[in-house]
Amino acid sequence: MAEILEISTCSLSSGSSGNCIFAACGETYVLFDAGRSAKAMTQLLSQISVKIQDINAIFITHEHIDHVNGLKVLINRYKIPVYMVWESFDNLSGDYKSALGEVINFISPKDKIIIGDMQIECYPTPHDSAASVGYIIGHKHNSDKLKKAVGIATDIGYMTKEITEAMCGCRIIYIESNHDLEMLKNSSYPAQVKQRIKSKRGHLSNTECAEILPYFIKNGARKIILYHLSGENNTKELAVKESKKSILDAKLKVGTVYLGVAPRSSPSKMVSVKISLEINQNENPENPGKKILNPLNPNFEKKVLLNPKAKRININPNPEIPEIDADNIAEVL
């Protein structure tokens, strides 16, 4: 027996001024990062007819301010469950930690978390933060093997095997296309900052982003959103031009591919993907999620989280994929 479900997503904000991605499946609404002020994020959500009170969870990629700016106020007001890795939490300031105390859920790469109708997995990414992860969004009925729908890879210094493995098979992908190499070279940034941006714990350039896109398209990506463009060292036109050329040069013959750019401070076009699921007749959809103990104080009753829409699943690692020769990817494909 098959069920068709639709996952919809858009970027609410992108870039150094603040990052946030929205995803929905049925009545489940999730945010990835909360980099704008609480007021701004509430207004951005209203532009896509969503109330902040309807958000079921917030997943954080890492602790830099352009990804957590509105988090403290949002959770103080609305007590939205938050998911992040321990190292990122541990490097937040004390006021953020205090606010997160009753809503935090710690996750690790390869964990899969069920939030309502979504199943979400994180994977490690290279960035100059205490820790950094990307996310894969799918559906909960595929607990043995995630049915991938949306992949998020932002703030990444370079394309690792973990990123290509995780994003492979996603129909919709958000991928960083941060800077144009020539614009960065000629910018007024100090040499140390330029080196940080170009480093393997910095940000992905237009060229590096463009080189990997044919591989993702060959493996199922049909809607690509270029994300986290620098306001000083990039333009929408340059990012699209380089990615489009790489896709066309690969001559993939896969039909139509949507290529868009996430706006800096307004919602992007809403895109969606439908996934077909085989339903296990023995599954009990009413079974509530189990308690998640808060490691900050697991013996304190008020800090035992019980989210009836969330449960944690342990899975075996995915099989490895071959190393990708990004410099010659057109020939490899």
Question: Is residue 316, in this structure, part of any structural domain at all?
Answer: no
Q: Mean pLDDT score of the chain, rounded to an integer?
A: 83
Question: Is residue 327, in this structure, part of any structural domain at all?
Answer: no
Question: Is residue 166, in this structure, part of any structural domain at all?
Answer: yes
| Structure letter (DSSP) for residue 141 | T
| Tens of pLDDT, residues 100-109 | 988 999 999 8
What CATH number is attached to the domain comprising 85? 3.60.15.10
Residue 322, number of CB atoms within 10 A of its CB: 9
Question: Is residue 183, in this structure, part of any structural domain at all?
Answer: yes
Residue 319, pLDDT score: 28
Phi, then psi, of 263 in degrees rounded to 5: -65, 160
Question: Is residue 314, in this structure, part of any structural domain at all?
Answer: no
pTM > 0.85? no
Residue 3, pLDDT score: 75
| Single-letter amino acid code for the residue at 64 | H
Find out whether 38 and 287 touch, Cβ atoms under 8 Å.
Answer: no
Q: How many domains does the chain have?
A: 1
Question: Is residue 319, in this structure, part of any structural domain at all?
Answer: no
Question: Is residue 131, in this structure, part of any structural domain at all?
Answer: yes
Question: Is residue 329, in this structure, part of any structural domain at all?
Answer: no
The parent domain of residue 64 ranges over: 2-268+300-306
Find out whether 6 and 25 touch, Cβ atoms under 8 Å.
Answer: yes
* Contact partners, residue 105, CB within 8 Å, separation at least 6: 81, 82, 83, 84, 113, 292, 294, 305, 307, 310
Mean pLDDT of 217-246: 95
Higher pLDDT, 131 or 173: 173
